[in-house]
Amino acid sequence: MLQCGLFEGSMTENERDQIAHVFREVVALASTAMQAGQSPFSAIIVANGQVLARGVNQTRSGKNPTLHAEMVAIAEACKAHGMEALAGSTAICSCEPCPMCLMALYYSGVASVLFGASLQDAIANGSGDPPIPSKTLIELGDLPIEIDQVGDEGAEAIIRLFRQKIERDGEL
């Protein structure tokens, strides 16, 4: 089971199991994105136990540097459910959001973020993201978003994908 401290005290075993289930899907989506030639990043937005949207990195296929997984998931959730549906939701992401994605999650009303690999893990494996951790931005902006890493098991699964992508394509 994945471990995270974000909701540890208030989360039921069933809720922890649901997060673990969704995170396994996040890993599978990241792997699918990688197989399609994208970087292995993915995000799923959930609210009230329901998946609102899924997103994978589409920067290469979409020829648009803003099509990060979180941005795609936000757009899909808004299209399918309306902007108000994201208020209070949770984004479960393969990697800690970059500054652009964190701010988009904030503006969309997402209340919490769980991630696998850290931004530092991504940078260490070739990501060009600025080295500004989400917690730093949250503290500086006094943003009402809770954020936590799902634990070593989740990070390791994503880091393996990073390394497979680099081995296969020479870049993340």
Residues with a catalytic annotation lie at 70
Q: Which amino acid is at 150?
A: V
The β-bridge relationship of strands 112-117 and 146-149 is parallel
CA distance 82 to 84: 6
**Are the CB atoms for 44 and 21 separated by under 8 Å?**
no
CA distance 1 to 150: 10
Is residue 50 classed as helix, strand or coil in its secondary structure?
strand
**140 contact partners, CB below 8 Å, separation of at least 6:** none
Total length of the chain: 172
